[in-house]
């Protein structure tokens, strides 16, 4: 994969988050020039400072003209669109702001990419976009459809999306919070003991995004085949790491929260194909668009179950402990 990124320019929107920083570290090791486009000048300075191997641009994806000018000036080969408003419970109370960034902002990114003949443009989506029940997930579902539609109308730029689950120890992860609360003897708030979640490491998230970008034909949504865990298994793993038993309190579902997450819906199975990447650490699936001009007929069909977090459970506490410890070191 390194050869495909060597001497390429990759612009990352929202590149100051945990995923963005890890992507930039990997891309630099490939001999690639990363360009960070974000509205947070403080995080840019803290994350990259005077790093000559990274170009930084202060800007908001809500502003089409600024983003368009940025593409004309820096001329990236690829765009990884990771900028988004992501806090699920907050977005239930601010749907207007979510629409401006996650939907209109994504449309701005796609329109500018098409106008500037960018080679490939990929949207970083979420498992919340599959059969969404909240504002955040719905906004990402629409963003996926925007990218698919732009691909349908493009004769040059290849547009695609990639969904995935919860990244261990990322900025939005609950696991570091749990570790701190157990260490200090505080009560852990638990939504439900039946809750399940897809979990993987930041390094696996980086691998998923880059493999999806490399394998994109156009218009599809990529999905990593991940294991999921019950919240009680996560509790056993973090308690074992700290060496203390945790006291818990059942608090019920937060606004917009699901008991089980979906990454691949049953209704998408007829359009789902395997990605031939057996030599890579992450196994990918691709959901082709129902309307497309691209050729998907030669690809192997996926014949497994839909990806609901209640159907792909692992109860291996030691495996999860290893993932958590690895994630904390990233």
Give the residue numbers marked as catalytic. 128
Give CA torsion, residues 64, 68, 70, 75, to 10 deg.
Answer: 150
The residue count of the chain comes to 330
* Burial of 30 (C-beta count, 10 Å sphere; 0-12/13-18/19+): middle
- Determine contact, residues 308/314, Cβ cutoff 8 Å: no
Cα 15 from chain centre: 12
């Amino acid at each position: 994969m390194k050869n495909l990124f060597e001497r390429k320019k990759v612009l990352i929107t929202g590149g100051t988050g945990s995923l963005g920083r890890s992507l930039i570290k990997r891309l630099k090791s490939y001999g690639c020039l990363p360009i960070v486009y974000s509205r947070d000048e403080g995080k840019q300075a803290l994350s990259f400072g005077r790093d000559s191997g990274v170009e930084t641009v202060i800007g908001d994806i809500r502003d089409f003209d600024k983003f368009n000018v940025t593409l004309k000036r820096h001329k990236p080969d690829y765009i990884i669109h990771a900028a988004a408003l992501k806090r699920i419970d907050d977005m239930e109370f601010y749907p207007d702001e979510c629409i401006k960034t996650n939907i209109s902002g994504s449309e701005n990114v796609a329109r500018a990419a098409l106008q500037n003949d960018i080679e490939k443009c990929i949207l970083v989506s979420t498992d919340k976009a599959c059969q969404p029940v909240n504002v955040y997930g719905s906004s990402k579902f629409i963003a996926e459809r925007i990218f698919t539609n732009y691909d349908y109308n493009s004769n040059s730029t290849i547009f695609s999306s990639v969904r995935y689950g919860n990244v261990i120890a990322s900025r939005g992860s609950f696991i570091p919070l749990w570790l701190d609360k157990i260490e200090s003897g505080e009560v852990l708030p638990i939504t439900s003991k039946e809750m399940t979640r897809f979990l993987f490491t930041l390094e696996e998230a980086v691998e998923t995004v880059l493999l999806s970008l490399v394998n994109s034909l156009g218009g599809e949504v990529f999905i990593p085949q991940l294991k999921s865990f019950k919240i009680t298994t996560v509790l056993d793993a973090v308690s074992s790491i700290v060496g203390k038993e945790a006291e818990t309190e059942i608090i019920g579902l937060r606004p917009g929260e699901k008991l089980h997450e979906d990454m691949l819906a049953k209704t998408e199975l007829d359009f789902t194909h395997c990605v031939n990447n057996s030599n890579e650490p992450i196994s990918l699936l691709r959901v082709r668009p129902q309307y497309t001009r691209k050729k998907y007929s030669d690809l192997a069909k996926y014949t497994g179950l839909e990806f609901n977090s209640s159907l792909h459970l692992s109860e291996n506490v030691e495996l999860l402990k290893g993932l958590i410890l690895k994630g904390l070191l990233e």
